[in-house]
Each structure stands twice: as structure tokens, then as C-alpha cells.
A and B are shown apart, each in its own frame.
Chain A
């Protein structure tokens, strides 16, 4: 498999991504906590919050880029979890289920704000400078070995909303194109195409930034 096609093996993370390890919390203690929370045990629900708050909050923060809104969305996601937790039947892992729930909360908010997720192209910034001929050759810096976490984080935050969404879901959160297509109500081809454009946009922005820094 090509390294770009799907996020694969990671060094052991503290908290895992849905597509990378969906069963991490599915140990016996986790199952028991979940069962208690499903039965209405508030302490168990608080424990679930502690276990998952970082992932859910970070996801929300990345997707909307605003601290207050991310807090609001995290609250809404956990409220929804509280309302729906009894309906979780274990068809998928709990982590997957919770992440989908949180992503749906964020998507609902983005839709309310007018971001059409069905036709992502329409909501993107104009990409006239990004035709196929534009990407090759013009950049005289390579990114390998120069990208650090903060630089990329800032560049991702600067992406247009639609690009940012796809990039986060695929390259950071680890979802596959078919899952993204299903969540966003777009075609798999659209998801692939938008991800590619997002990466091209990131490359262009990052190279410009590096070029500026390299100038005396």
C-alpha cells in the first residue's frame, strides 16, 4: 500500500485514533465502565468522559479552529452520548461509535453555519492557481525532514474549511475514504480528490513559508 493512501502504523500513541486502533478501550475494565454508564451510573459516565475527552475535544478544536466553539461542541457530543449511550449495542467498537457521534455533531454545526458538505468543491476557496499544471516543478524546496508538528498544525488550521475537514478526517483521524464519503454524503471519488487538493494546498503554503524563511 502506498504511504499516502491510508494512515497506517504509528508509534504507540497515548490515545488512539479510531481507524488506527478501534479496540483500545475495549478491555474488560473499559467494558465494565461502559456497561455501568449504559445502566445510568453517573460515576461511570464521568469516567468515560475522562477517558475520551482529550480526543473528542481535540477533534472538535481542529475541525472548527475556535476554542469556545470546540468546548461547546465537546459538551454537545457528550450530552448526545449521554442520551444515546443505552442504544450502543457493540456492533462497532465504542471508540468508533463515539467518534462518529462527535463528528456528526461537528458536521451538523458546520452545516448550520452554511458549509455544504455534499458539494465540497462549491464551498472551497477558488483554486484557480491549483490546476494540475501548477503543482509540478515550481517549488524548489522539499518538505521532507523540514516539517515539524507546529508548522503543520498552523498550516492545517489555515486551510479552507472543506479541505481541512477531509484532511483531518483522513490524514489525522485515520478514516478511510468510504467512511468519509458516508459521513459527509459525498462520493468516494470526491473525498479522494478533495484530500489530494488539500495536500497540494498544504504543500504550496508550506513551501512558500519555507522559501520566505530561507531568504536572507
Chain B
């Protein structure tokens, strides 16, 4: 897809996308974006995905009994540390 001031092909544009996006550049002014409907559609989809991802913040609670397991494991660790200390000192 080449025209006028845009001498970049879709392939070249898309190969550069990870860097361009990662650098935070506003691609809406990019000559290729302005001249290529296909790449505009691609970017619109990628933006839709990134936007939707922001709605995926956590919503799941762990089961209630998990805390009991953690508490038990902590108690075991502490008991084990205490007996090691006693063994060393005794």
C-alpha cells in the first residue's frame, strides 16, 4: 500500500509497529496510517484490545479456606524455626 508522501508498505509499517507503539508515539499522524485503511483498522483493533484489557482488573476472590492454609503454614514455619533455635542453643 504505497501512495504519495507515504513510501512505506504495510509490511514495513507493521514491522515497525512494536517499536513505534512501545515508544509511545502517536501513530494517528503517521503518513502510512493516514493513507492506509487496512493499517488503520489493524490499529483500531489493537487499541480496542488494549482498552478492553484495562477492564480485566481482578475480580476473583480466593476461597475462604486459603487463609487458613496460609496461617497453618506460617505456624509450621515458626514452630520449625523455634525448634532449630532451641536445638542450636541446647
Q: Could you list which residues of chain A lie within 8 angstroms of chain B, going by C-beta atoms?
A: 1-7, 10, 13-17, 42, 45-46, 49, 53-55, 57-59, 61-62, 70-71, 74-75, 78-79, 82-83, 132-133, 135-137, 139, 142-149, 152-153, 156, 167, 171-172, 177, 188-189, 191-193, 195-196, 199-200, 202-203, 206-207
Contact = CB atoms under 8 A, between A and B. Distances in A.
Interface string B19-54: 111111111100000000011011111111111111
Interface size class of B (residues with CB under 8 A): 35 or more
Contacts of B52: 147-149, 152
B84 interface: no
B58 A58 contact: yes
A196 B41 CA distance: 15
A149 B56 contact: yes
Contacts of A172: 53-54, 56-57
A54 B50 CA distance: 22
B63 interface: yes
A14 B22 CA distance: 28
A20 to B, nearest CB: 9
Contacts of A196: 17-18, 21-22
21 contacts: A1-B26, A2-B20, A2-B27, A4-B43, A4-B46, A5-B23, A7-B53, A46-B71, A53-B61, A58-B57, A75-B66, A132-B11, A132-B14, A135-B42, A136-B14, A137-B10, A142-B44, A143-B44, A172-B56, A172-B57, A206-B49
Given A10-B57, A149-B55, 7 more contacts: A1-B24, A4-B47, A42-B74, A49-B70, A58-B57, A70-B62, A199-B50
B18 A193 contact: yes
A153 B56 contact: yes
A171 B50 contact: yes
A13 B59 CA distance: 10
B73 interface: yes
B60 interface: yes
B14 A147 contact: no
A64 to B, nearest CB: 13
A42 to B, nearest CB: 8
Contact of B74 (A79, A132, A135, A171): A79
A147 B44 contact: no
A196 B43 CA distance: 11
A125 B63 CA distance: 33
B23 to A, nearest CB: 7
Nearest to A10: B54
